[in-house]
Structure 1
Amino acid sequence: MERREVLWEQLHKKGLSDAEIEQRIQQKLDEVGGLLTEEGALAIIANELGIVEEQEYLRIGDLVEGMSNVNVVGRVLGYTEPREFQRNDGSKGAVTNVILADKTGKTALTLWDHEVRMTERIQRGDILKIVDGITREGTRGVQIHLGRGKLILNPEDDPRIDEIPSLSRLSTRPSQRRSIAELEDGQKFCEIRATIAKLYAIRFYDACPDCFKRVEFKNNVFYCSNCKKKVDKRRIMIFEAGLDDCTGFIRASFFDKKAEDMLSIKTSEAYYKVKDLVNKGYDLRSAQRHYITSHHLSLLGQEILVSGDVSYNEYTGLTLNAREIKELDILEECYALLEGSA
């Protein structure tokens, strides 16, 4: 019996009719803007009703924030250089992210402290199996944390291994070139060639250095409600611009390092320039806009290649959340036009 059928039968035993199940599935799909399969939605509904299932069929593309007992398998594309930091109590910690992929998508496995040593045995191309992990929202989507779970290197008995693409296929997965008119909510790995037609503003927020969620300042310390701990804040810069390619217009959001790359300025330097304007009498929003128009007006009219994921916000409409900014290679673009792919 397929996983979908098993879950459906278990939900029937909980007293749900077919119509009620279909309705709940649609509600889950609507909540995440289509970034979930029906099978993934069924799994979440079952979990909410206390149904414990064997999750050997879970794929990376099914992951959403807040899941527990996560069991997934993926191929290692690489990992970040371990970063050491000092906690508020003076103790030292370390963190690294292992990038995993299967045929349905990519995710990051975040390893902490003693877990970081596992990367000494992990190589690109290896298969990792996470058993009883948990998921949290990160800067680039859902990330996996081990929690009390465990990690198995190159398992041999999981049927999902055979369906995971090779390292070369996963590593060379190209972003799909689209026109702005073709962009829709939920699309990933979209690349557009467009002109910077509008500069909105920059803004800053104090973030948790681990999950990048906004932190609160209370009792003279910074506290992350997502990680549920005191943290040393990290200042994040976000730059937003309007892009036009003659087929349409879309707002693009550049986060953290991508914002620094676009503006050719460090976050701390931009922050204090905006702060100086506030000290001169500007309100915060006006200062953020004035800074952009005073220092980065030369960006207008520049043509860029940017790839990322598309999301919808009821206030700003469709937004392209930038993953990568590329230099425009005119010769390469000409070849692409001749081949009919640009």
Structure 2
Amino acid sequence: VKLIISSISIIISVCICTKLINSNNLSLLTITILNMIIIGVVYKECYKKALLAYFIAYFFIQSSVILFSSITWPIAKDIFSDENISKIIGIYIPVIVFELAVLFNSKKIYSVYNFFERYKYSFEISCLLIFSLDYIICLSMGLHSWANTILANVTIFTFIIFVVVAIIYIKGINSKYEEIERLNNLLIEKNNELRKIKHDYGSQISYINGLYIMNQYDRLGELLQKIINGNNSVSTHIKCISNKDSIITDIFNSLDVKDVHVIIDEEVDLKLLEISEYDLHKIISNIINNSLTALNNEGLIVIKTYKIFNSTYISIKNNGPQIDPDIITKIFELGFTTKKDYEKNHGYGLYIVKETVENNNGKIYVESNEEYTEFKIIFSK
């Protein structure tokens, strides 16, 4: 409805202006201003977007008029003695064909609109561009004697004023942009400082949580006392509560754990298991890599080894997101992956883990909830 109202209003304004105003120059500028007012009133909720769309359409129309009046019309004048026929052949018909071609490629025109709409000052710049085109057409009319001498001189004079105003306006926009850029850089700097502070406190909280999970209340008390005293020397590296020379520690030392906090508590020497060190490394490293991916290199991994009767347990926990209950039973299947890039090397890690565990007379289970995800491996003698 709005499109119909605005279109009819624009047609009426064009007809009225061309009849009431004898000067082509004046009528052209008046029509442009009236059209902008009509669109602004009809689309008052989103007038800038509507006017930007109008400016793009107007740009193609006026550009085609300038192009064909400068190239094809002089040729048509040499061929046809009648001026009206030369205008029809040299200007009107080529312009209509050009505009039909534009309509048939409306999707590309819409992409042009999307391109300009992203920029903050696209409306102001396109407005200046449209009036520049109007002035060029007015000058062209003066050169081709379509306007009287006085109006041609007025057009040239106002065009000079327009250019000066445009330069001042663009310079003002540029100075505002530079100020915004400076403030933006300051905000980025302050934001990085806040992130560092957040990360430092996050490291402490993650480590405290890990000690709590491991029931290390004595160490927890010591750590809290250090924080209270202002000693923020909590390490973001691996914390080995027991054996620092174990296979698990060696695996972590070979990985880039970045901001992941790791707590290793071994009550059982895994070297005593009836499984090769290579297979054990393969099992644990695949689960750890899976955990690092889930944590996106930021979080907590807790590894415990312990014995219940004659069975050795290896528990690997992380505080990453919960695994969807619909897929948790599928994660050990060959080729299954939750990664979005679907590269060929995905979907084999946990399958290899399960196969290797079972080949060594073991079992593997996975449990996941909102607080943690735990892989539990059991080897029985």
TM-score, normalised to structure 2, is 0.18
Indicate the structure (1 or 2) with the bigger Cα radius of gyration: 2
Greater RCO structure (CA 8 Å; 6+ sep): 1
Greater per-residue strand proportion? 1
TM-score, normalised to structure 1, is 0.20
